[in-house]
Structure 1
Amino acid sequence: MNKPSIFAIPALSLAALATLAACSSKTDLNNENISAGMNTYLAKRGDLCLAKNVWPIDVTQKDVDTGGRNAIQMPVLEKLGLTKSSVATVTATEDGVSAEIKVRRYELTDEGKKYYLDKEMRSVKSDGDIKFQKGDFCAAKLSLDKVVGWEDSKTDNGSKMVAVSYTYKIDPAPWTKDADIQKVFPMVDKVVRGAGTMQLKESFKLTGDGWVAVDL
């Protein structure tokens, strides 16, 4: 009588594992699938930008007097060699009256152009609508550190959704270390310093291709 081969059991075990692996689906709600979706999202939307889409940027005396953000921020970018300024004349209309005024016009230098991404940018307005803009001046690129967890979110047209919490890695521009930059762009500084610890959130919906960020 032949004895059963001792090698049959491991072979059957491997076959069973392969069958179980084949049953796994990209639509399952698990860390692997959510992480894959998050990597895709951050590859496309992980740029940390300054909402300076259209150049050149003109700063009026009124902007200076009222402490407008461009009046505060643009001189710091110029100090670092990212922008250059000149005096220009433009036509401004106020209360139905048009007049020519002098402005300080800022343009990107060759160095500054390295940080301008010429691609479609999306942002969510206060009313929830999506705003599309072409290009932006950016300070850093985020990538996934780890998925912390998720919770059920609202249902959108019958699609299952989850709100994903995650931490991130960051590749910041060298000029983000400048003390004046950190002062006039405090949110950029906060995000840069929060790499690996600060938790961000992104909503994902279930599709036939797996878990996809709502913002894509």
Structure 2
Amino acid sequence: MILLAACGNEEARFPNRDNFTAAANDYLAQRGHVCLAKYDWPIKVAAGSSEPDAQQMPLLEKLGFVTGKDVAAAREYALTDAGRQHYLQVPVVVRTTTQAVVHPGDLCAATLSLDRLVGWDPPQTRDDRTTTSLLFTYRIALDPWATAPEVQQAFPLLARAIQREGTMQMRLGVHLTRRGWVADELDLH
């Protein structure tokens, strides 16, 4: 029985379509959320602001996801119970050239799944680590409220993700572990 398990595990280590498809599916199941960059709450919008929040937060209030109250020269928005249902509490790392900021979660509007594995780079081994990158297209499943035209207008990155469903090619870094191929983001060891 142990020998069979070892053979099965070894097959998961081959660089082939089935194993890379499994790695992409696993990644998308865990991290394939389309979120709106609304990380930290409450959110304050200054009076007269032309920032995206000035358009987005009143729309989220209209949808019942946030409540707003006037505070000194601003409006402060907090998540409602309905909004918390769409707030995914998984740490989000936002990297710039100089820093990495970890947020507690994000407000999400859709979920991605694998459409098609387009291909992959030849695996490379360096410092006892074998890596490659996968190229794939995706399908998008919108939360019902995200189908509204005014939502897509207020959140252009969401609209772009919808428009490019099945055609936009995404790249995913993966590496080989004892149990098979794993997305770099899911296993940082």
Task: Give me the TM-score of the superposition, normalised by structure 2.
Answer: 0.84
1:201 aligns with 2:184: no
The answer as to 2:22 corresponding to 1:52 is: no
Verify the 8 A CA contact 2:66 2:78 in the aligned structure 1: yes
Q: Distance in 1 between matches of 2:9 and 2:83?
A: 50
Aligned counterparts, 1:1-216, within 5 A: 25-61=11-47, 64-65=48-49, 67-88=50-71, 101-123=72-94, 125-127=95-97, 130-152=100-122, 157-216=127-186
Moved more, 25-34 or 125-134: 125-134
Larger radius of gyration: 1
CA 1:192–1:153: 2 relative to 1, 3 Å? farther
Give yes or no for contact 2:9–2:180 (8 Å, CA) kept in 1.
no
Q: Distance in 1 between matches of 2:162 and 2:59?
A: 18
Q: What is the identity, as a one-letter code, of the residue corresponding to 1:51?
A: A
Give the distance between the partners of 2:20 and 2:35, measured in 1 at CA. Answer: 25
Aligned-partner residue type, residue 159 of structure 1 = R
Structure number with greater CO (CA < 8 Å, separation at least 6) is 2
- 1:83-140 alpha-carbon deviations (Å, 9 max, x no partner): 221112xxxxxxxxxxxx33201112222222111222334x1328654321210011
CA distance in 2, matches of 1:75, 1:155: 51
Count of matched residue pairs = 181
Residue segments in structure 2 that go unaligned for 5+ positions in a row: 1-6
Mapped partners of 2:8, 2:105: distance in 1: 42
Identity fraction in percent: 37
Q: 1 CA distance for matches of 2:165 and 2:52?
A: 25
CA contact (8 A) 2:9 2:179 kept: no
CA RMSD of aligned residues (A): 2.5
Secondary structure of the structure 1 residue equivalent to 2:24:
helix
CA contact (8 A) 1:176 1:189 kept: no
Distance change >3 Å, CA 23–CA 179, structure 1 → 2: closer
TM-score by length of 1: 0.74
Distance 2:99 2:126 in 1: 15
